[in-house]
Structure formats: C-alpha cells, structure tokens
Amino acid sequence: MRRLKERAKVRRRTYSITTCPEAKPKLLWFFMDETKEEQKPKDSGDSAETARRPPLPLWAKVLMMSVLVFLVAIGYLRSTHQHAENVADIQEGPSDVPAADKRKPVPDIVLTAGPGSNKKLSDFKGHVVLLSFWASWCTPCLIELPTFIDLHDKLSAKGLVIVPVNVDESDQAAQFVGDFWKTKKFPFPTFYDPNHQGADSFHVDSLPSNFVLDKSGKLVAQGYGANDWSSETSVKFIEQLLNETAVVGTSQSGN
C-alpha cells in the first residue's frame, strides 16, 4: 500500500544519511551545532587545551545517528502493535491459542475477487480462515505465499479457507498477480483491496500481515512477517481450530 511504500522510502533515506558523508541532514547538523556550543569557553579563564579540543569524528556522529534511528524504530514498532497484546502470535506455536471467550470480533470487510465479484468475510463463517494481506513489491510475501499451498492441500478438506488479499494498486495487480498465480499453481484465488479499506480496517501497517479466524469468525491469532505455513507447528495450530465445534453468531463488526 502507498503508506507502506513511503515508509520504506523513508527508511532508505535514513540509511543514506548514515552512509553518505556528503549528505548533511538537519539532525546531523543539530549534533554538530550542539558540540560547538559545548566547546565554547565558559569564561576567559578556560585553558588553551580545552579551546583546542577536537570535534567529534564523522564516524562517531554517524554511530550516534544510527543508534537514534534504531531506538525510534523500536519504539514505533512496539506502539503500533499494542492492539495485538491480547491476541496469540502465530509464530508462538499452537499452545498459545486463546480460549474461545477471549477471542475478538473482526471487521466484516468486503473482498473483491474480480470485476463485479465480491464477498464478505462473514461469508466464510463455519470455516477456519487464514486471512493474509500481501503485495507484489513485498519480497517476504512472495516467499510466504507458496507455503500456503501445502497447508491448503492438507487441511482444506477439513474446513480451512485461505484468503490472500492483494493490496497493490489496480494496474500493478493486473500486471503481476495473474502470471504469478499461474506460475505457482495456487489452488485458491486471491482477493483484492486496491483502496486499502480492508487493510485499514485490520490496522495493517506491515506486510505480510496474517490473521487466523475461528469457525465463528473471531480473531484467534495474528502475525507480521513471513511464516512457514507448511511447517508442522503451523499445521497443528490450524488443526486445533478445525477440531473445535463451530458456534456461528454475530462476530464480525461493520466496516
């Protein structure tokens, strides 16, 4: 999605700051100016040795910038994922599946399967759903998607539905998705969210973003980043939900 790409561009510009001495960003100038102010004699009695103190070398300034950027990034990631605090992390394993009474309803987003063909997330009630937001420019997404095939082959007959949702702009999706789907021979379709309404409803801020819903349509687990869905851990995770008795009710909220 656009803001994810912009965030990626910001990261690239940040790295260029730390590796390109010719670029002198405002933040770097701040450190330089502060250093100069600290080097000013407090009074006329300061020694000549203090006045001749050399400025910080460039590598030290670069190191300070890198540490600052790292700390800001860690703080951002912790704050943006606070909404997932009480939801199981997919990568933590099947033992962390929360009790049914602790699962939360999710937005009943509209999924576009093609021209004029739409579905709602609530249409999949009665099935365990793996909802995955992805994009053609997201390399981890392209690595993760083929692992869905093995999971589908093992568990689709038991009630698993895999729902990939592409968030590319319409022209990008048309150019890439068809060929990619044919090449990898996916046994399930992908849906589209070019306006990012569905992704925004799920507070997606990184890709891939995966959400596992139980048979009643409630959120069981979520994960950010590529996961190996063909692994034994992932299969057992989903099997626990497939073995549950469905209680189909109103569990999806409005958009």
Q: Assess whether pLDDT exceeds 80 at residue 5.
A: no
Q: Is 203 left (phi over 0), alpha (psi -120 to 50) or beta?
A: left
Distance of alpha carbon 122 from alpha carbon 252, whole angstroms: 7
pLDDT at 251: 54
Phi-psi region of 71 (alpha: psi -120 to 50; beta: other; left: phi over 0): alpha
Q: What letter represents residue 32's amino acid?
A: M
Residue 154, classed as helix, strand or coil, is helix
**Digit-coded pLDDT (tens) for 23-36:** 333 333 333 344 44
Average pLDDT, the chain: 77
Question: In this predicted structure, what is the pLDDT of residue 48?
Answer: 57
Residue 78's pLDDT band (boundaries 50, 70, 90)? low
> Residues 120, 111: contact at Cβ < 8 Å?
yes
Closest CA to 234 of 167, 170, 148: 148
Residue 245 pLDDT class (50, 70, 90 cuts):
confident
**Structural element, H or E, at residue 210:** strand 209-213
Tokens 């260029």 belong to residue: 16
| Mean pLDDT (whole number) for 215-227 | 94
Confidence class for position 221, pLDDT limits 50, 70, 90: very high
Nearest alpha carbon to residue 141 among 236, 229, 220, 202 = 229
- Write down the pLDDT at residue 58: 83
CB 155 within 8 A of CB 123: no
The pLDDT tens digits of the residues spanning 121-132 come to 999 999 999 999
Mean per-residue pLDDT for 172-178?
83
> Where is 118: in which H helix or E strand?
strand 117-120
Query: 217 or 73, which is more confident?
Result: 217
- In the prediction, which pLDDT does 63 show? 85
The position carrying tokens 């507070």 is 203
Helix (H, G, I), strand (E, B) or coil at 68: helix
From CA 31, how far away is CA 100, in angstroms rounded?
Answer: 53
- With a pLDDT cut of 70, the percent of the chain lying above it is 65
